[in-house]
Structure 1
Amino acid sequence: MLLLGSVWPTPSLDLAISVAVELITLLPLIVLVALMAGWLAVSAMAERFRGILNNRPWQAIFFAGLIGTVTPVCGIASVPLVAALLRQGVPIAAAMAFWLSSPITDPGMLLLTANILSWPFAIALLIAAMLLGLTAGAVMHGLCRWRPQAQWVREEILQDTAAPTCEGSTRSPFWTETLATFALVLRWLAFALTVEALVRTHLGEAGYSLLTNVDSLWAVPLAVGIGGPLYIEGYAALPLLRGLMDMGLTPGAAMAFLISGAAISFYAAMAVWSLMRPVIFGLYLALGIVGALVAGWATDIVVNLS
């Protein structure tokens, strides 16, 4: 994909250079995530979480949604933690609640949203993130109850990478898990950056101006369609949205843009794809899209009534 984008429609190395620069910039995060996975492999934290949450699915869903809402953990950074917990038997419904609530907001994002947009908008975003996480967890729990024998997680994720191998490797569990996670995150993050760069190149920033030129009813789904693929990091998106709202963008479309761009962005999506089977990945995308649409339309309705 990177090669194709570098020669079409006109030959240019700008695309490849931009992806390489982004990957190098994110390399410290990738290393930190890999080291986190290695630490989890030799610590008892995952086992403690499992003991608390495994027999209390609804408490696990609520706890995961709450933690996801108040902690600044991006999709890629959640890979080692979620993978370790899934290997320990923590309910997959809790993972789904965490994945859909965590990228949307955190304390820093809450304060910045309040200052750039408004406090009511920031609080509505916080509530939307929490409700989306809880709904996703409840849907996943119902699916697991309906098909309790189904395997939703990729087989290689459930395998203990720190276990002894047939080759008799003397590598410690810490380094085994660290190197495996480094390769996993690097592979999927490179793919996410490539896709994002291709979308930006061919659709361009002009796509955002379309949001101000449509009826409010259609502005929300258009914001979801643009906000996900043309994702701008949450902190950078706020000034853009303020400018678009000054040009006529509805608050609901702004809400849908923020939620879809965070919850189903390439970074978050690649984290889910790397751990889950395609059917759960599809469910995750559907929940994120529907959640963003509902939150956007509900915001516009409340604003119109007030």
Structure 2
Amino acid sequence: MNTRFSLVWWATLALLALGSLLPEPSIELARSVIVELFKLLPLILFVALMAGWLASSQLADRVRNTLDSRPWHAIVFAGLIGAITPVCGIASVPLVAALLRQGIPMAAAMAFWLSSPVTDPGMLILTAGILGWPFAIGKLLAALLLGLVAGAVMQGLSCWKPQTHWVREGALLQVSTNSCDSSAPSRFIDEAKATFSMVVRWLAFALTLEAMVRAHLGETGFSILTTVDSAWAVPLAVAVGGPLYIEGYAALPLLRGLIDMGLTPGAAMAFLMSGATISLYSAIAVWSLVRPAIFGLYLTLGIVGALIAGWMTDLVML
């Protein structure tokens, strides 16, 4: 784990140095990353404490025992909970990581990962107020269906190979610090520290990558979405919305303005779906937890789900 920790931090520092020198010397990029990281510190602490609680309580054991005997119920439950709970990508991954260490099925984890960042009750109401109830309900259904399909696909793969084949050894090795011989406070502290370390290092890397993308593309790059044919606007929105993620609440007014300029509702849906499910925040955290094959499946499901949601939205609303 120390080697991986060092590599991630060295890569982050190298990107910060590069971004501070190109296209011209400036400390603005590094400053923005540090500011954003401090803004997210309360959330990181909350996630770490929640992960510690999950590791030290008996909740994970109870959930695992229930879901192991009913895998398809687990998928539906995880997809439904993910679609209606206010858990963003950065929070869902470490929480699921803690549950995976306790033996929660990977299929349920995949369903939750891809459905939870898309919407929640507050986002549903705000989306309805800005983009209309048909769009908001369509987004909720898209999140739920994406989670269910992702869980079903992962369940099929889990029947082929054991779950331990899909999770990185580093993520599962942390179970050793949470042995049955350890006291609950010790398990709480160990899991909270491990989760805090994982989130901070990968989030710093993600924020740096996002800042570099923003610096070279810029907010005005979104205007290109209104100039292409509607059939191509959806995949272009996915290509832009994934890496250059704008927080969902901030993206809604921007998309409302772009729709007034000619952006199709489907492109707006694809932008929101891809930005929430496969953003750098979520993707890099998932990468830290699962092996490349499952990470590729996660990205593929997120991209295909965003494309289908976008095209279906245009088919229904245009």
Q: Could you tell me the TM-score, scaled by structure 2's length?
A: 0.91
Most deviating of 79-88 and 63-72: 79-88
State yes or no: 1:157 paired with 2:166.
Answer: no
| Aligned residue pairs, count | 299
Q: Which residue is equivalent to 1:131?
A: 145
Q: Could you tell me the TM-score, scaled by structure 1's length?
A: 0.94
CA distance in 2, matches of 1:261, 1:207: 15
> 5+ unaligned residues in a row in structure 1: which ranges?
none
Cα shift at 1:146: 2.6
Q: Which residue is equivalent to 2:132?
A: 118
Q: Return the letter of the residue paired with 1:30.
A: I
Q: Which residue is equivalent to 2:68?
A: 54
State yes or no: 1:287 paired with 2:292.
Answer: no
State yes or no: 1:34 paired with 2:34.
Answer: no
Asked whether the equivalents of residues 71 and 107 of structure 1 are also in contact (C-alpha less than 8 Å), the reply is yes
CA distance in 1, matches of 2:220, 2:49: 40
CA distance in 1, matches of 2:250, 2:95: 27
RMSD: 1.5
Q: Return the letter of the residue paired with 2:16.
A: L
Q: Which residue is equivalent to 2:107?
A: 93
Q: Return the letter of the residue paired with 1:118.
A: G
Asked whether the equivalents of residues 68 and 99 of structure 1 are also in contact (C-alpha less than 8 Å), the reply is yes
Most deviating of 71-80 and 12-21: 71-80
Q: Which residue is equivalent to 2:227?
A: 213
CA distance in 2, matches of 1:37, 1:161: 15
Q: Deviation above 2 Å: which 4+ runs of structure 1?
A: 146-150, 161-164
Q: Which residue is equivalent to 1:175?
A: 189
Identity of aligned residues (%): 72
Most deviating of 248-257 and 30-39: 30-39
CA distance in 2, matches of 1:155, 1:212: 45
CA distance in 2, matches of 1:155, 1:95: 17
- Of Structure 1 and Structure 2, the greater helix share is in 2
Cα shift at 1:148: 3.9
Distance 1:107 1:163, change over 3 A: closer
Asked whether the equivalents of residues 213 and 244 of structure 2 are also in contact (C-alpha less than 8 Å), the reply is yes
CA distance in 2, matches of 1:149, 1:35: 26
Cα shift at 1:162: 2.8
Residue in structure 2 matching 1:275, options 289, 300, 309 = 289
Cα shift at 1:77: 1.2
Counterparts of 1:157-306 in structure 2 under 5 Å?
A: 157-159=171-173, 160-163=175-178, 172-304=186-318
Counterparts of 1:59-74 in structure 2 under 5 Å?
A: 59-74=73-88
What are the superposed Cα offsets for residues 152-172 of structure 1, whole Å, 9 maximum, x if unpaired? 0111222315346xxx9xx82
Asked whether the equivalents of residues 263 and 288 of structure 1 are also in contact (C-alpha less than 8 Å), the reply is yes
Q: Return the letter of the residue paired with 2:152.
A: A
Q: Return the letter of the residue paired with 2:236.
A: L
